[in-house]
Amino acid sequence: MTELNKRMNVNQRPDDGEIEIDLLEVFYQVKKRIVLLAAAVLICALAAAGYTKLFIPKTYSSTATIYLTPLVNETGDVNYTSLQTNTKLVNNVVALLKQDNIMDHVAVKCGFDSAASVKKVLSISNQPNTELIDIKATTNDPNLSEEIATETVTYFIRTMKQNLNVKNIEIVTPAKANSKPVGPSLSRNTAIGALLGFVGFAAYILFTVITDKRVKSKEEAEDFFGVPVLCQLPVIKEK
């Protein structure tokens, strides 16, 4: 009885407690249930796509771009010193755009309850190796996104001119209402749903293989009992 109890835990090593997984058995079970696996992937993909279409609100972005213009000499040449200064000034401008005094003004003008709420929908970044700064607002309303980006840029430039006498900041691309949504990504969410379906069903198959303690062949019986099998009765299927 003791030997039988040990054998009933066929997938567990007696010495270190580690679980052995028969990869061939896993592959066989996957092949046996390939139709169910495909169905699980398809159902999860369709469920993710349907949830994305019906329950996740669309988002719209509007971007305004400002430029730190360099000084131009009387001869029409760009002042190299001012160009270097603007390059160093870019990070400061990005930081100043995110200050609470700017965000508080935009919040009041655009109907937000706080500066923190504006910061959640506003993205400010510097285009690499340039003096161009993008101010992008993303909300569920294309007109509101445009209003936020426009108000942020306009008020910031006005504040810089009045308080710091900085007059070389220009709007090169004004914000516009974009009717094409930028999110959610239907293809990405559908792919994630399909992947979750595959992983979930594969985990189920792996679990069934690990927990299946049945003796399935003559070789396993001989290994289990330690004696040779003298005969094997065939499985007769009724017609």
Cβ-contact 148, 157 below 8 angstroms: no
Determine which of 74-78, 108-112, 182-186 has the lowest per-residue pLDDT on average. Answer: 74-78
pLDDT of residue 76: 56
Query: Beta-carbon neighbour count of residue 89 at 10 Å?
Result: 17
**In this predicted model, what pLDDT tens digit does every residue of 171-188 receive, in sequence order?**
999 999 999 999 999 999
What number is the average pLDDT over the span 199-211? 89
| 68 shares a domain with 121 | yes
Whether residue 27 is contained in a domain is answered as yes
**Does residue 133 share a domain with residue 72?**
yes
At 107 the three-state DSSP class reads: helix
Average pLDDT over residues 89-118: 94
Average pLDDT of every residue of the chain: 85
Residues 147 and 201 in one domain: no
User: What is the predicted pLDDT for the residue at 168?
Assistant: 87
Assigned domain for 106 exists: yes
- 24 shares its domain with 122: no
> Do 50 and 65 fall into the same domain?
no
The enclosing domain of 149 has a CATH number of 3.30.70
Residue 15 has pLDDT above 60, yes or no: no
SS3 150: helix
| Out of 9-18, 47-56, 193-202, 209-218, least confident range | 9-18
Identify whether 74 is part of a domain.
Answer: yes
Q: List C-alpha distances in Å: 213 to 2, 19, 137, 151.
A: 16, 12, 58, 69
Bigger pLDDT: 181 vs 81: 181
| Confidence at residue 29, expressed as pLDDT on a 0 to 100 scale | 83
Residue 13 lies in a domain: no
Provide the 8-state DSSP code for 18: P
Do 217 and 130 reside in the same domain of the chain?
no
Distances (CA, A) of 227 to 1, 11, 215: 16, 20, 14
β-bridge partners, 132: 67
**What pLDDT is recorded for position 88?**
80
For residue 217, the 8-state DSSP code is: S
Cα 239 from Cα 140, distance rounded (Å): 63
**Same domain membership, residue 166 and residue 91:** yes
Statement: residue 199 has pLDDT above 60: yes
Which spans in 98-185 are helix H? 100-110, 115-121, 142-163
| Same domain flag for 65 and 169 | yes
User: Is residue 198 a part of any domain in this protein?
Assistant: yes
Structural domain containing residue 189: 20-56+184-239
Looking at residue 229, what is its pLDDT?
A: 81
Residue 4 resides in a domain: no
The closest alpha carbon to 66, from 128, 123, 129, 131, belongs to: 131
Which of 37-41, 71-75, 208-212 comes out lowest in average pLDDT? 71-75
Q: Is the pLDDT of residue 217 over 80?
A: no
Quote the number of domains for the chain.
Answer: 2
